[in-house]
């Protein structure tokens, strides 16, 4: 396994994965459409290593995909339209890029000697994360619109608030956004393909990835990048609900390393793994920590008290399966990763499109 194709490889995670693979002696080819929302003006980013072989093209275009697969030994499929909120109204676009694009890629791989496939999935497939009711683990129901309209954010059973616990891969998926549905379809297509054609196929469910090179002007990107964009423009991070929802933040270099390790391990074939830090933080606390690290103690997150369609309350990773199967363990502490992010942010200019994006969601009735 010497030649690796990364679809979506000019993006945030893809570029870091390219660096990780190059460092370990692989030849890396990148296929990326350079979509304007992620790469303004369709310009190839300066952070993408000059050592990658770059092909500009759409993963939905069969001829381009076929060309990109020539002499390839392994594929890391990261190409995707990303974002829960936008997926709820750009349904055709998200389904075309995420599901049709995956189908085009897999069909092009059928007649080729490509032994390894890694598919990037998402924690969004879980819906709500696992919880505990008394001493019993439960799979929480999705909160109703009626509940959210009254500002009752927590999940309750029999009048008792559930306690969130780490979510393992065994939790039943609950697909409450178009994006979640897309990511689940991507991972299942990849694993079905691997089983049918005797390839080593693995799906990784990424939790909240952060770090340098994230698209700051994309209002549907990761929460830390969105908060960073707001703070760079002297505006408070916007936090939905009451800000006490909990998430799992993992540094992008840890994610890149997990991808390489999963690709190289024969034990990962046919399996799905969580890739997170195994720790949880509230969104409000993360916003405060970033503002402090950027020296903007005068700016505090604005808690909107509103909810968005497709959002969930709590979800953070149980990473024991990845640890036991291919010895993955996060190496970048949150404090270290935050400092690195702030250093990178200090040299960036961001177009803050968050309010425009939220207004679009509001106009479509997706914010209540």
Residue 245 lies in a domain: yes
| 300-358 residue pLDDT tens | 999 999 998 889 999 999 999 999 999 999 999 999 999 999 999 998 887 777 778 77
**Is residue 251 classed as helix, strand or coil in its secondary structure?**
strand
Does residue 366 have a pLDDT over 90? no
Residue 63's pLDDT is what?
98
| 217-235 residue pLDDT tens | 788 888 999 999 999 999 9
- The whole-angstrom separation of Cα 7 and Cα 118 is 10
- The whole-angstrom separation of Cα 263 and Cα 16 is 15
Report percent pLDDT > 70 for the chain: 100
Residue spans of alpha helices (H) in 304-347: 320-326, 334-345
Residue 334's pLDDT is what?
97
Confidence of residue 216 (pLDDT cuts 50, 70, 90): confident
Residue 311 lies in a domain: yes
Report percent pLDDT > 90 for the chain: 85
Q: CA separation (Å) from 318 to 168, 169, 248, 315, 348?
A: 5, 8, 10, 10, 34
- The whole-angstrom separation of Cα 122 and Cα 220 is 15
**Is residue 258 classed as helix, strand or coil in its secondary structure?**
helix
Does residue 365 have a pLDDT over 90? no
Residue 71 backbone phi and psi in degrees, to 5 = 65, 20
| 21-78 residue pLDDT tens | 999 999 999 999 999 999 988 999 999 999 999 999 999 999 999 999 999 999 999 9
Residue 358's pLDDT is what?
78
Confidence of residue 175 (pLDDT cuts 50, 70, 90): very high
Residue 236 lies in a domain: yes
150 contacts: CB under 8 Å, gap ≥ 6: none
Residue 368's pLDDT is what?
76
Place of tokens 């933080």: 281
Residue 368 lies in a domain: no
- The whole-angstrom separation of Cα 213 and Cα 147 is 38
Residue 292 lies in a domain: yes
End-to-end CA distance of the chain: 50
Kindly state the average pLDDT of the residues 4-25.
98
- The whole-angstrom separation of Cα 37 and Cα 39 is 6
Report the CATH number at residue 37.
Answer: 3.40.50.720
Residue 220 lies in a domain: yes
Q: Hey, which residues are catalytic here?
A: 179
Query: What's the distance, CA 366 to chain centroid?
Result: 21
Q: CA separation (Å) from 11 to 36, 46, 77, 184, 341?
A: 12, 11, 12, 21, 16
- The rounded mean pLDDT for the chain is 94
Residue 84's pLDDT is what?
92
Confidence of residue 17 (pLDDT cuts 50, 70, 90): very high
**Is residue 25 classed as helix, strand or coil in its secondary structure?**
coil
Residue 29's pLDDT is what?
98
What is the domain extent for residue 300?
3-363
Does residue 207 have a pLDDT over 80? yes
Contact 315/128 with Cβ under 8 angstroms? yes
Kindly state the average pLDDT of the residues 91-116.
97
Does residue 280 have a pLDDT over 90? yes
Does residue 180 have a pLDDT over 90? yes
Rg (CA), the chain: 20
- Per the structure, the count of domains in the chain is 1
Angle of helix 178-197 versus helix 101-109 axis, rounded to 10 = 10
Choice between 356 and 85, residue whose per-residue pLDDT is larger: 85
Residue 189 lies in a domain: yes
- The whole-angstrom separation of Cα 60 and Cα 150 is 43
Residue 222's pLDDT is what?
87
Q: Are strands 271-275 and 200-206 parallel, antiparallel or unpaired?
A: parallel
* Residue among 106, 110, 86, 164 at smallest CA distance from 366: 86
Tokens read off for 286: 């993360």
Does residue 129 have a pLDDT over 80? yes
Residue 214 lies in a domain: yes
Q: CA separation (Å) from 346 to 37, 231, 333, 341?
A: 22, 11, 20, 9
């Amino acid at each position: 396994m010497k030649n690796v194709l990364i679809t979506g490889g000019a993006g945030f995670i893809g570029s870091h994965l390219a660096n990780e693979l190059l460092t370990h002696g692989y030849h890396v080819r990148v296929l990326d459409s350079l979509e304007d929302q992620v790469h303004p003006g369709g310009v190839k980013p300066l952070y993408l290593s000059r050592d990658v072989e770059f092909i500009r093209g759409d993963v939905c275009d069969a001829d381009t995909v076929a060309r990109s697969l020539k002499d390839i030994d392994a594929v890391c499929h990261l190409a995707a339209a990303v974002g829960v909120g936008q997926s709820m109204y750009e349904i055709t676009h998200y389904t075309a890029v995420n599901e049709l694009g995956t189908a085009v890629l897999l069909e092009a791989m059928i007649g080729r000697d490509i032994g390894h496939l890694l598919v990037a999935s998402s924690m969004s497939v879980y819906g709500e994360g696992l919880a505990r009711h008394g001493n019993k683990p439960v799979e929480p129901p999705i909160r109703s619109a009626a509940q959210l309209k009254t500002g009752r954010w927590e999940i309750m059973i029999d009048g008792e608030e559930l306690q969130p616990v780490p979510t393992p891969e065994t939790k039943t998926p609950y697909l409450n956004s178009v994006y979640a549905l897309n990511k689940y379809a991507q991972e299942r297509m990849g694993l079905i393909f691997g089983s049918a054609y005797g390839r080593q196929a693995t799906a990784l469910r990424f939790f909240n990835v952060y770090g340098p090179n994230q698209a700051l002007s994309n209002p549907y990107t990761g929460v830390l990048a969105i908060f960073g964009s707001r703070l760079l423009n002297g505006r408070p991070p916007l936090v939905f609900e009451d800000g006490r929802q909990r998430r799992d933040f993992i540094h992008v270099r840890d994610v890149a390393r997990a991808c390489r390790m999963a690709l190289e391990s024969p034990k990962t074939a046919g399996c799905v793994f969580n890739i997170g830090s195994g720790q949880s933080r509230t969104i409000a606390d993360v916003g405060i920590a970033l503002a402090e690290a950027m020296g903007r103690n005068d700016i505090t997150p604005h808690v909107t008290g509103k909810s968005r369609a497709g959002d969930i309350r709590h979800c953070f990773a149980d990473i024991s399966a990845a640890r036991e199967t291919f010895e993955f363990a996060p190496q970048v502490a949150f404090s270290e990763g935050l400092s690195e992010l702030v250093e990178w942010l200090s040299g960036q200019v961001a177009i803050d499109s968050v309010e425009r994006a939220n207004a679009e969601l509001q106009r479509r009735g997706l914010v209540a």
